[in-house]
Each structure stands twice: as C-alpha cells, then as structure tokens.
Structure 1
Amino acid sequence: MISRRFYRLIALWVLAETFLGGILHAFRVPLMGVFIACFSALFISLIYSATGSSRKVIHATLIVLVFKMLLSPHAPMIAFMSVGLQGIFGALILHAIPSTKIGRLLVAVFAYMQSATMKLLSLTIIFGMGFWDALDEFMVSIVQYFPVLSSILSAKNLVISYLGIYLISGIIVGLMIGRVSLKSRRGDLVLEGIHSTPERSRNKNTGMEWPLILGLTVIYFIPLFPDSFREMSLRAAIILTAWHLFLGPLVKKLLFKFLGNKKSGMIREINLIEGILPELQDNLKVSWQAASTQKAIRRFPYFIKTWVQISL
C-alpha cells in the first residue's frame, strides 16, 4: 500500500535526520553534510516514487521538520532550513523531470550543493549581509574547518576543493540512488540474526538517551581526549539532559497545541510514525551487522540499501 510505504519512508528519514544528524551536529564533524544530504536525497526520491506527488514530498518534509525539532535538540537553525529547502526543491525537480534516474541525480546534486553553500545562503538571504562580505565569511569558515590543509592550499583553492568534494559526492550518490527500487526484499535477503531479533513494542521508549548522556559525560573526565573534544562532549550531555527532562516535553506540548487537538490529521500522523521508529531502529542494527560482511568501500551503500529494503 502507498500509505504504508509513505509513512515508513518518512519514519526512515526521521531516524536518519535525528539520529545521525544529531550526532554529527553535536560533535561538529567536518563535511557532515556529505552524510546527511545523502539521506535527504534518498528519501525525497523514494517518497516521490511511492506517491507520485510533489505535495506528498513537501508534506513529508514538514513532518520530518517537526520530529527534528522534537528529537534533535542540538541541530542549529541552518539544519532545519536545509531540510526544508531540500524537500521543496527536490519535490519540484522530480515533478519537472520525467526521467526517474535523471531526476534523482539532480535532487542529489542539489541537496549536496545546497548543503555545502547553506552558510553563504543564510548570511546573504536571512542576515542581509552583502554577497562579497558573506563570501569572505564563508571562506573563513571553511579554512577554520581544515586548519592543516589551509597551510598547504590557498583559501581559494581550499574552497574550490570543498565544493568539489560535495559536487562529486552528489553525483556519485545520485547515480546510486537512481538504482534503488521500492521493492521490499525482506524475504530474499539472507541476514544472519534477522529472525532472532526480539520484537519490541512500538510504543515502548527505546531508552537510548541516558546511556548516550552517560557516555558523553564520562568522556569529559578522560584526559586522553583533547580538551576541546571533552568540553564539546560535556556541553552535548548538558543540552541532552535539559532537553530530555524539561525542554523536550514543553516543546512537544506547545507544538501539539499549535498543530491542533489529537483528532487532527497531523497529530495522528506524528503518533503513527512515532510508533514505527522502534522497529526501524531494530532494522538499523540488523542492516549494519549484514553490511559488516562487505568490503569497506561497499559497506555504507549496502547498509543503506538493506536498511531501506527490509523496512518497507
């Protein structure tokens, strides 16, 4: 059924954005957009293929943004803007391009280049900074990301290399996404341990927040790590604790009040997707175990493909 796949694909996108995106933003991983844009392009393309509707893609993007607000507290505002732009323009591209493979390729390239230049766009469009001043600030931020390379390459060449990495990654990912089908292969895939994975209640809290907070706190007290990394870990632990205990429930209450009463369509959809997430987390673990048998260069693509196909 289209409706079933529609909500399961949204749930996959939510999990990728909040779980992976939240970790990458918390630790300020360089080139994190290379990883996050991959998921946006993939699920935007698959949702359009499942529904044939650009409106459904935009609707799915809105739901993902709601979950990102609830589950990914350290993501900056620029991350929400990226998801929104990728969803809107992805829907328009896929609607305008009749070829599935070419459409998906363009969606991936757009997602990657938009992610690479989001800081420049936000400085000019949102903060009203002049283009050349914003470009200088953009170049400085890239140089600060790669202090070692900045001693080898000029700022101009470093920026060109940075954009080139995103462009090439977008083309490679777009070609790979073009070959992904919506056909579920759960019964065809030979996954060791897939039937032995215990079923969990869909409404049961996964309880992953406190172990993560504990791990981040412990890192702060280990002197082997650099001071900047230890301070970052402690800051992430404090943010997660405050969000989990106080801010998260408050924001969720206010957000649900804004969306309407629990009989509204949006609330029902949010509750439905929230119930699917634990199952998809189990599939995440199974897929990673299956991918561990692959060669290093094929491991990540195989993991993503397997995770999607056993979750449909």
Structure 2
Amino acid sequence: MISKRYYRLIALWVLAETFLGGLLHAFRIPLTGVFIACFSALFISLIYSTTRSSKKLIHATLIVLVFKMLLSPHAPLGAFLSVALQGSFGAFIFALVPSQKLGRTLVTVFAYMQSATMKLLSLTIIFGIGFWDALDEFMLSIVAYFPFLSTVLSAKNLVLSYLGIYLITGLIAGWMIGKVSLESRRGSLDIEGNTPQGEKKKSSKMSLEWPVILLLFLIYFLPIFPDSFREMSLRAAIILTLWQLFLGPLVKKLLFKFLGSKRSGMIREINLIEGILPEMRDNLKISWRAASTQKGLLRIPFFVKTWVQISL
C-alpha cells in the first residue's frame, strides 16, 4: 500500500510546476528555470526516498504531467518535456546509484543543465538539425534574450556564463537537497485564521519566444552586424517561428493525447490529489509568511523547507 506521504509529495510537485512556475513566468523573473529545476529535483528526490521505487517515481511523473495538462494547458511544450525528462532521469539514477546524496546531486545538476539547454535539445532531437548548427541557433537565442549583455560579452562568453550559472547553482542546490530530510512539522505552525481566501488573480502570460523572434528578425535587417551573424539570426528566427506555429503545437497535441489516455487509469489518484491541493496551497502561503523572519536569500531555503515539512 502506498503511503499518503507519496501523494502529498506529488501534490507539492504539481503546485511547484503549475502555481509557482506560473507566478515566476508572470512576473518575468530572470532565469526562471533555476527555481523550477530546484523544486522538480527536490520532489523527485523526496518521492524516491519515500517509495524506494523507480516505477513509483515514473508513475508520479505521469500524474504531474496529467495535472500540468489540466491546470496549465497553455504552458510551452518544453515545460512538459522537462518534467518527463527529469522524472525519467531521476528514476534511472536512483536505481543505479546506491548513495542518496550523490543521486540527489546528480538529479539536481541534470535538472538544471537540461533546463538550460532545452532549446538546444529541441533543435537537435525534434528538428533533427546538426549539433553545430543547432548550437549556433542556441547561442543566438541567448544573445537575443540578454541583448544588454551582448554589448559587453561575446556570444561565446555569454553562453558559457549562462550555462555556468546553471551549473554552479545546480551543484549548490544539489548539495542542499542532499541534506533535506522527510521530517514532518504538520501542526507546528499556527495556521488557524491565517489562510486568506482571496480571489485568484489571472495573470496574462505572453510567451517570451515572440519578442526573441522579433529581435532576431530585426538583427537580420540591421547592417551594423556582420553578414554571417545576420544570416544565423534569420535562420534562428525562421526555425523558432516554425516551432511556435507548427511543430510545437503538433507535438504538444500528441503528448496531450497520450496523457489523456493515461488519465482514465489514474482517476482515483487524481481525485485524491485534487483534494490535497487546497491544503498545499494554503501551506505555501503560510510558509512564505513564516519565511519573512529570514533575511535576504536565506528566506528561500527556509520557505521551501517549511513548506515541505508542514505539508507532509
């Protein structure tokens, strides 16, 4: 019999992927993948620690994908593929590596680097573009994403800095996740009368892909850039446009069809987790308020630890 903790951890992962991920994108937080990858790696690690089963971890990943389909149907395809890849890699690594701390570190670093290179993976695996050509498009998309830094750093150094940030933060997060225990603190905080039921605010989310595509097209028509760079930017803009308008929606439709076929076999578990989600959402608000006592960046790990512990 599966423990209730298993489903509570899945509910936490669902909220991190849908609610927290949506907030970060809505407020245009830079390097959003750094935060989302951390939550994903944390809950993948804790789910495996609870079940000691790669099969149960894969099952949990499918449940999270179904909820993401239901709650965030307009999320980009890369967000769905990231969950699938990270959950599958976690199941593989934890089955292979006997050390929990090492396994958690590897899973976290993978989640961070996969998040950082998702566009490159999409271009090579789905589009079938050669690696070096795909690398050119990837570099241009990062230059377009950080145009203010491209005047200071070369394209190569900007990409290396971008990947370096993900690698270093992934190693730090992996070390911290390796120390997280499954200690429960439910009931340890005063939560009565402390959970406001305000109306949910719907934030309009516009994909950042289109501004990047427009900037790449603009670069092509500006003679101040070298011809080779302008041609690369035009090719990147065309590929990204095709992805946004045609291939991305098609692959997403096929993914949703697959997840829809799995949904009927998970209906009892889906209903169970739906019943848990409101409590998890309230705990999230409580944990954030409790973390207000912390200073600076210490607030974030305190918030995550508190949220997990009072939710188990």
Given the two structures, how large is their TM-score scaled by the length of structure 2?
0.79
* Aligned residue number for residue 19 of structure 1: 19
Deviation of 1:130 after TM superposition, in Å, equals: 1.1
- Residues 192-225 of structure 1 show CA distances to partners (whole Å, capped at 9, x for unaligned) of x42333699xxxxx852xx325xx59xxxxxxxx
What amino acid is aligned across from residue 196 of structure 1 in structure 2?
G
Where does structure 1 lack aligned partners over 5 or more consecutive residues? Answer: 201-205, 218-227, 229-252
SS at match of 1:272: helix
In the alignment, structure 1 residue 258 sits paired with structure 2 residue 261? yes
Rounded Cα–Cα distance in structure 2 between residues aligned with 1:74 and 1:143: 26
* Aligned residue number for residue 133 of structure 1: 133
* Aligned residue number for residue 3 of structure 1: 3
Where does structure 2 lack aligned partners over 5 or more consecutive residues? Answer: 206-210, 212-255
What amino acid is aligned across from residue 212 of structure 1 in structure 2?
K
Would you say the 8 A contact 2:65–2:259 is kept in 1?
A: no
What amino acid is aligned across from residue 153 of structure 1 in structure 2?
L
Pair 1:61–1:289, CA change in 2 (3 A): same
Would you say the 8 A contact 1:30–1:145 is kept in 2?
A: no
Pair 1:88–1:105, CA change in 2 (3 A): same
Would you say the 8 A contact 2:66–2:263 is kept in 1?
A: no
Pair 1:2–1:89, CA change in 2 (3 A): same
Rounded Cα–Cα distance in structure 2 between residues aligned with 1:212 and 1:179: 36
* Aligned residue number for residue 268 of structure 1: 268
What amino acid is aligned across from residue 174 of structure 1 in structure 2?
G
Moved more, 1-10 or 85-94: 1-10
Would you say the 8 A contact 1:260–1:267 is kept in 2?
A: yes
In the alignment, structure 1 residue 113 sits paired with structure 2 residue 113? yes
* Aligned residue number for residue 44 of structure 2: 44
In the alignment, structure 1 residue 90 sits paired with structure 2 residue 90? yes
Would you say the 8 A contact 2:108–2:170 is kept in 1?
A: yes
Pair 1:260–1:40, CA change in 2 (3 A): closer
* Aligned residue number for residue 243 of structure 2: none
- RMSD after superposition: 2.4
* Aligned residue number for residue 175 of structure 2: 175
Deviation of 1:94 after TM superposition, in Å, equals: 1.3
1:99-248 to structure 2, matched below 5 A, reads 99-187=99-187, 189=188, 191=189, 193-197=190-194, 208=200, 211-213=201-203, 216=204
Would you say the 8 A contact 1:18–1:72 is kept in 2?
A: yes
Would you say the 8 A contact 1:13–1:39 is kept in 2?
A: yes
Would you say the 8 A contact 2:195–2:286 is kept in 1?
A: no
Pair 1:144–1:96, CA change in 2 (3 A): same
Pair 1:89–1:122, CA change in 2 (3 A): same
Would you say the 8 A contact 1:26–1:74 is kept in 2?
A: no
* Aligned residue number for residue 227 of structure 2: none
Deviation of 1:257 after TM superposition, in Å, equals: 6.7
Pair 1:90–1:257, CA change in 2 (3 A): closer
* Aligned residue number for residue 62 of structure 1: 62
Rounded Cα–Cα distance in structure 2 between residues aligned with 1:3 and 1:294: 33
Given the two structures, how large is their TM-score scaled by the length of structure 1?
0.79
What amino acid is aligned across from residue 60 of structure 1 in structure 2?
A
Count of residue pairs brought into register by the alignment: 263
Pair 1:159–1:2, CA change in 2 (3 A): same
Pair 1:127–1:254, CA change in 2 (3 A): closer
* Aligned residue number for residue 291 of structure 1: 291
SS at match of 2:293: coil
Would you say the 8 A contact 1:22–1:74 is kept in 2?
A: no
